[in-house]
Chains A and B, each alone.
Chain A
Amino acid sequence: MPKSMSVVREAIAGDEADDAMAERVAAGQAKEQVKAGRKVLPIVEGVVLVAALLAPLVLQDYLTVFATRVIILALFALSFDLVWGYAGIMSFGQALFFGSAGYGVALLARDLDITNILLVLPAGTIIGLTFALLLGGFLLLGRHPSSVIFVSLGTLTGSYAADRLARGWYYLGGQNGIPSIAPMSLGGYEFTEGPAFYYLVLGILVVVYLLCRFLVRSQFGLALAGLRENEQRIAFFGYKAQHLKAIIFAIGGAIAGLAGSLYAFHEGFVWPNMVGVVVSTQVVLYVLFGGSGTLIGAVIGTVIVEGVSFWLSDNYREIWPIILGLLLLLVILFRPLGLISFVLGERERVGSFGARPKETERKTEKQTEKEKRNAAP
């Protein structure tokens, strides 16, 4: 640290104390700038948001419909990322909440003619939440912590059972599901596929994203980080680890339910796959591909996996699933933290928690930096 040494020497000499101080301040500012330069997350988020806002303006109509579907799936991916990426709960049955909400709102539309957006979206969210509370209560709220295997198999079984149930139940349309769901409405306006639907789901995604970001960057987020890294340790601090898990699992279920109800109205029909293992696995891949434990990673993963599948299935009609599978394997092998880890460092990924540092804390942070510099020579 030759620079800091010279800084200290000059300060001791006293003659050029002011210069030394100025240099120190400049060094401090440079450091702040370097630090500011290191913050890539807001930049990535901004770029993704701008791209998403501009997409319908540059895309052809059929691609806007595709993009709407992707945004809804990105919302679904956020739900899994909260549960797995942040709290470390391996849910292999996230589609259960997505699909059951889809079926729920399809039934509301079919049997009760309820399509008002102000009723169907809260209803879908509550359905997702309720199913997640029931399953989560059963799987996570034992007296002793449940093992990862128990939770992943339990959620997988839940999703598989729901798929079988939907296939066999005439009321739910059996194998064919429920077709021709009436469009979502608000007053006299009907949301059909196209830019209006796109901007609606984008708006919802942004709001949910911000709420999730608020949550994972709060002190609650710190508790989740502890839960993810060492559940036993935080139980010994006095945390009710199982409760924390059930809460985040339920929040994840609610978001998946919201996404599922949007998906049902966007596609115009629901079918058994929507609650089943295939969709449950798909969301795991989105998040692993993009980067679990970062919210933007889940969104980017969804966009890339869906975009690449779309392009591959157009151009390599027969072998595209194999190519996609290999791509996913490569990422998981060589970039276990997902594509986002190409631009995002470990420190920023973990981040800090609670309110932004207040003046006193910033002082502390600067003081420790200063002490380090002074101690260096």
Chain B
Amino acid sequence: MPLLEAADIKKIFGKLTALDGAALTVGENEFHGLIGPNGSGKSTLMKCIAGAEVPTQGKVSFVNTDITAFTPTERARAGMSLKFQITSVLPTLTLYDNILLALQAQSSLFDLVFSRTRGALHDQVMTMLTQFRLADRAFDAAAALSHGQQQWLEIAMALAGKPKLLLLDEPTGGMSLEERRVTGELLQPIKKHCSLVIVEHDLDFIRDICDRLTVLDQGKVLASGTVSEIQANKSVQEIYLRRA
């Protein structure tokens, strides 16, 4: 059984059909790239999976459970995590508290009020910060970070709760070439325990880290397969040529 299965997803905004029967299947420990021209419905499909949008039609299953009607909170508790397209770190909090905020999400109310989990979570906070090369700035406000570092912090926050599936919406947007390379490096180790769905415009980046790709065009799946299969696919080449 795949980890995530979104089938026949339709999403209509007024007169605009953003998704018209799109589908996505992701296996365990698989890095799956979601690509397609602008307006093809990548971000909308991502939002339907994460629960930020409710699909007009279709079904989303995660770990053998139908989660189509789940709220974002319920999805997060089931093991799904999302990094938004627009960075949404909490700028006034320190990096440390940003990560702690993500880590303590599953703590009980009693533990939160009496601050009973902070001590136990300290090492995990520092491990996450070290893993994402942010440890030396642990006690600075997140607002003081560069754009690229904010993206890393946000990925670290999304990974903090040890999700089974991480949804990344344009993680390298606005990054320098060097930052993109480092982002790829930072993501590799998570493969051992986490699957990834990634929406990204940078095709080189996608090719480097993904196992499988799904190509969307006008709200439908144009092709799905391994990276080499997609590269050889005529119709995919056509839409990218058309765009160029």
Contact = CB atoms under 8 A, between A and B. Distances in A.
Interface stretch (B1-9, B32-40, B103-111): B103-111
Nearest to A374: B136
Contact of A234 (B105, B106, B137, B139): B105
Contacts of A220: 109, 112-113, 115
Interface residues of B, number: 44
Interface string A303-344: 000000000000000000000000000000000000000000
Q: Which of A233, A240, A247 has the most CB of B within 10 A?
A: A233
B135 interface: yes
Contacts of B157: 237
A372 B104 CA distance: 28
A226 B101 contact: yes
A239 interface: yes
Nearest to A364: B126
A375 B136 contact: yes
B100 A353 contact: yes
B117 A235 contact: no
A236 B90 CA distance: 14
A218 B114 contact: yes
Contacts of B101: 222-223, 225-226, 234, 237
Contacts of A235: 71-73, 76
Contacts of A215: 113
Interface stretch (A95-103, A105-113, A163-171, A355-363): A355-363
A350 B143 CA distance: 13
B159 to A, nearest CB: 11
A219 B136 contact: no
A365 interface: yes
Contacts of B137: 368
Interface string B88-109: 1011111001001110111101
A238 B115 contact: no
A6 interface: no
A239 B105 contact: yes
Contacts of B136: 368, 371-372, 375
Nearest to B54: A144
A3 interface: no
A240 B75 CA distance: 12
A350 B92 contact: yes
Contact of B100 (A241, A354, A358): A354
A237 B92 contact: no
Nearest to B104: A219
A230 interface: yes
B117 A229 contact: no
Contact of B119 (A144, A232, A355): A355
Nearest to B106: A238
Contacts of B82: 236
**Main SS class of interface, B:** helix
Nearest to B76: A238
Interface in B157-206: 157, 161
B138 A364 contact: yes
B122 interface: yes
Given A233-B90, A237-B105, A350-B92, A222 B81 contact: no
B216 interface: no
Given A218-B113, A235-B76, A247-B109, A350 B93 contact: yes
Interface string A69-111: 0000000000000000000000000000000000000000000
B62 to A, nearest CB: 14
B133 interface: no
B145 interface: no
A218 B102 contact: no
A237 B76 contact: yes
Given A225-B93, A352-B97, A361-B122, A238 B77 contact: yes
B104 to A, nearest CB: 5
B59 interface: no
B161 A237 contact: yes
A232 to B, nearest CB: 8
Contacts of B76: 235-238
Contacts of B106: 238
Interface in B25-82: 50, 52, 71-73, 76-77, 81-82
Contact of B73 (A240, A368, A372): A240
A346 interface: yes
Contacts of A239: 73, 105
A235 B73 CA distance: 5
A368 B118 CA distance: 19
A358 B161 CA distance: 23
A227 to B, nearest CB: 10
A346 B77 CA distance: 33
Contacts of A237: 76, 81, 101-102, 105, 157, 161
Contacts of B113: 215, 218-220
A83 B230 CA distance: 53
A219 B105 CA distance: 10
Given A143-B71, A225-B90, A238 B119 contact: no
Given A235-B76, A236-B72, 17 more contacts: A219-B117, A220-B109, A220-B115, A222-B104, A229-B91, A229-B92, A229-B93, A230-B90, A236-B52, A237-B157, A238-B73, A240-B73, A350-B93, A353-B115, A355-B118, A358-B122, A365-B138
28 contacts: A143-B71, A218-B112, A218-B114, A218-B115, A219-B113, A219-B116, A220-B113, A222-B100, A222-B101, A222-B112, A223-B101, A225-B101, A226-B101, A234-B101, A235-B72, A235-B76, A236-B76, A236-B82, A236-B84, A239-B73, A239-B105, A346-B92, A352-B97, A353-B118, A354-B118, A355-B118, A365-B138, A371-B136
